Amino acid sequence: MQKLLQSILPFESPQNFEDENTHLRYIDWDKPSRQIQIFAITALTALLYVIFTFLDKSWAPVHVQLLMMKLHLFVIVPLLLTISFLAYKKRFYDFVMPLLAIYPIISISCHAYITTKLTNFGPLLIEGYLGVFWMFVISGLTFRYAIISACISSAILLIPSYFFIRPFDIYVMHVFWISCSFSFGFLGALIFDRSRKAIFISQQDLHHLAITDPLTGIFNRNQLNKTVSQEIGRAHRYEKTFGFLMIDVDHFKRINDNFGHDEGDNILKSIARLLSRSLRENDTLIRWGGEEFVAIAVEIDEENLTLLCEKLRQKVEGMHFDSVGQVTISIGATLFSNNDSQDELLARADKALYQAKAKGRNTSVYSK
């Protein structure tokens, strides 16, 4: 099946995600568009059932028409409108998918029951075939829910009809059309599901490229605004401050001039890896540009920020490169205060870094 799909689809279609976090991100990404789809489709389907109820059905006896009206207007339509309402209200989304999977089973059961009451059931059979296709492609059900719902519904359509559809060749055609609607729906749902996942993965890859420095593999400058904005918001909400560090590799131009840019790149990559490992789990390291880095240390006070700066400085100082020998860094650090803007925070850290350079480099300076 995978090889067949690869020959049909113009993209690589992933079956599963590599880890649970990616799967959860996909669910969050997929949810808004699926909510809109379910809201609109269930409302439209309810409207179509109302219209069908009042169409002329001379092929059905009066008592069966009355039965159809009761089941459609008092069971199927209210259920569809309830699902539509729940899909519209985002906080109820967790209830929508199971309820939407149950709905076709109830609807098909009503359909099968009505069919047993008819002698001329031909005009009504189409509803069952459309129902199976509806579950897979139109409803908004996820692929797994659609399979479960369609399998149960198809069994409801096939098994009881064996006992009342005569002659047998008509039943064979009935089985054939159900098989067609199931297979077309299954393939359509599978392609649609995989195309959504492929689009999601492509967007994730593009997002990763947009915020990642290609040389060091850490965040680039594009991520700075988002991270600082988030931390400023957290600081205001929870009254917890954060540290802002500007880190510069000392005499980096001299390294490039004497040992070449390739060796300079290797040193930057090594320092970035060391800094990433030395920061705490929730801290963020960003390549500011050239030989400069920015670190954001969350929920920290002045004393621990000073200790963190010295820890980073000593870690880098303790590294040894075969070609260059020892490389050092200078650090300017500050803490966020309630009245700070991002520009003020950055300017204060930059001033502290300038002071560290003026002191002879390989040192850290804290600025209030």
Can you tell me the distance from the alpha carbon of 72 to that of 316, in angstroms, rounded to the nearest whole number? 73
Task: Give yes or no for a contact between 247 and 331, defined as CB atoms under 8 angstroms apart.
Answer: yes
Assigned domain for 214 exists = no
Same domain, residue pair 165 and 285:
no
Same domain, residue pair 86 and 8:
yes
Beta bridge partners, 334, equal: 244, 367
Same domain, residue pair 172 and 273:
no
Assigned domain for 121 exists = yes
Same domain, residue pair 204 and 302:
no
Which of 209, 242, 257 is the last residue before a domain boundary?
209
Same domain, residue pair 58 and 190:
yes
Assigned domain for 166 exists = yes
Same domain, residue pair 185 and 320:
no
Question: Which pLDDT score, from 0 to 100, does residue 88 have?
Answer: 93
**DSSP assignment, residue 157?**
H
Nearest in space to 246 (alpha carbons), one of 362, 333, 309: 333
Question: Which pLDDT score, from 0 to 100, does residue 3 have?
Answer: 54
Residue 100: which domain range?
A: 2-209
Same domain, residue pair 266 and 352:
yes
> Which residues of the chain carry a pLDDT beneath 50?
1-2, 5-6, 8-14
CATH code, domain carrying 330: 3.30.70.270
Question: Which pLDDT score, from 0 to 100, does residue 11 have?
Answer: 45
Same domain, residue pair 155 and 36:
yes
Same domain, residue pair 49 and 166:
yes
Exposure class string for 46-66: b at 16+ Cβ within 10 A, else e = beebeeebeeebeebeeebbe
State the burial class of residue 334 (Cβ atoms within 10 Å of its Cβ: 0-12, 13-18, 19+). Answer: buried
Tokens read off for 163: 């006992």
Assigned domain for 215 exists = no
HEC states along 113-133?
Answer: HHHHCCCCCHHHHHHHHHHHH
Tokens read off for 36: 């809109």
DSSP reduced 3-state for 334: strand
Which of 155, 185, 209 is the last residue before a domain boundary?
209
Tokens read off for 261: 């840019």
Domains: count for the chain: 2
Assigned domain for 154 exists = yes
Assigned domain for 319 exists = yes
Task: For Cα atoms 144, 148, 150, give the angle at the middle one, nearest 5 degrees.
Answer: 110
Assigned domain for 43 exists = yes
Same domain, residue pair 292 and 179:
no
Which of 145, 178, 209 is the last residue before a domain boundary?
209
Q: Report pLDDT digits (tens) over 268-310.
A: 999 999 999 999 989 999 999 899 999 999 999 999 999 999 9
Same domain, residue pair 64 and 196:
yes
Write down the H helix ranges in the chain.
2-8, 20-53, 62-71, 77-88, 93-116, 122-133, 143-158, 161-164, 168-211, 222-238, 252-259, 261-278, 302-317, 342-358
Tokens read off for 221: 């400058």
Assigned domain for 217 exists = no
Same domain, residue pair 198 and 243:
no
